[in-house]
Structure 1
Amino acid sequence: MDKPRILTVAVVGAGILGSRHARVFHEHAVTRLVAVMDVDFELAEAVAAKYGARAYESMDRMLETEKPDVVSVATPDFAHT
C-alpha cells in the first residue's frame, strides 16, 4: 500500500481556536503544520514555536513563502472577509 501524501497546513488565527487547529494538524499523521499567521505576531510566534512551525503576520507573505496545501481559517467571523 502506498504511503499517504503528507499535506502541508497553515493556520490563520492564533487565538483559542487557531491554537487548537494547530495542535490537531501537528499531531495528525497525514498533515504537517508549516505556518501560523496572526496580525498579533507575538501570538503567532508563540503558537508556531510550540509546534515547530513558522510565524507570520502577513497572509500574502505566508502564502508566497510556504505554499501550503491547506489553509485553516480560525479567525473570528467578522474577520473572514
Structure 2
Amino acid sequence: MDCFGDKAREQMVRRYDISAVAHVKLLNNQKKHSCTGRVLTDSYYCFEYKGKNNGHDIGAFYCGEPTAKKFLALTGGDDPII
C-alpha cells in the first residue's frame, strides 16, 4: 500500500475504512518499512483497512508519526497509546 503524499492518503480514506490498531516503539537497531517508502527506526503506527465496496479487500500498513497524524485527522480516529 502506497501512502506517500496527501493525495494518496485522501484516496485511501475514500476507498477504505481505516483505523489505528497500535503505536509501537521499536527496539534498538530494529527497523520497519513505512507505506511512504521510508524506513522507520524509532516508532511506528499500525493501521488496518477494509474496502468500502469490497469487504474482502482487507489488510494492514505501517507508517511513522507524521503520516499517522494525517490519517487520524482524515478519519477522525483515536491515537493508540504506545
Using structure 1 for the length normalisation, give the TM-score.
Answer: 0.31
More helix by share: 1
More strand by share: 2
